[in-house]
Amino acid sequence: MNLKPRRRNTDDPGSSGSLNDLSFLLIIFFIVIAGFNTTKGFLITLPDTSRPRLVHQEDLMRCTLKDTGAIILDGQEVSLDELRTVVQSKRTSYPNMTFLLVIESETKYQHVIDIIHEIRRLDVENFSFRMEDNVQH
Partner 1 sequence: MFSIKRKRLKPSIATSSMSDIGFLLLIFIMVISLINQRYEEKIEYTEAQQLEKTEADENLEIWIRRDGAISIEGDYISLEYMEALIVSAVSQDPMVRIHLIADRNTPYKYVDEAVKILQKLQHRVVSFVVREEL
Footprint (CB under 8 A) of partner 1, residues 29-88 = 30-31, 33-34, 37-49
Residue of 11, 81, 106, 123 that binds partner 1 (CB under 8 A): 106
Contact 133, 104 (CB under 8 A): no
Please tell me whether residue 9 binds partner 1 under the rule CB under 8 A. Answer: no
Q: Return d(Cα 66, Cα 133) in angstroms, integer.
A: 12
Min separation Cβ 77 and partner 1, Å: 18
Q: Which own/partner pairs from 29-38 qualify as long-range (CB within 8 Å, at least 24 positions apart)?
A: none
Q: Return d(Cα 110, Cα 114) in angstroms, integer.
A: 6
Please tell me whether residue 112 binds partner 1 under the rule CB under 8 A. Answer: yes
Q: Distance between alpha carbon 132 and the CA centroid of its chain, in Å?
A: 24
Residue of 27, 68, 88, 125 that binds partner 1 (CB under 8 A): 27
Min separation Cβ 91 and partner 1, Å: 18
Min separation Cβ 81 and partner 1, Å: 15
Four-residue CA torsion sign, 111, 114, 118, 120: positive
Q: Return d(Cα 129, Cα 45) in angstroms, integer.
A: 11
- Where along the sequence are the contacts to partner 1 (CB under 8 A)? 16-17, 19-20, 23-24, 26-27, 30-31, 33-34, 37-49, 103-110, 112-114, 116-117, 120-121, 131, 135, 137
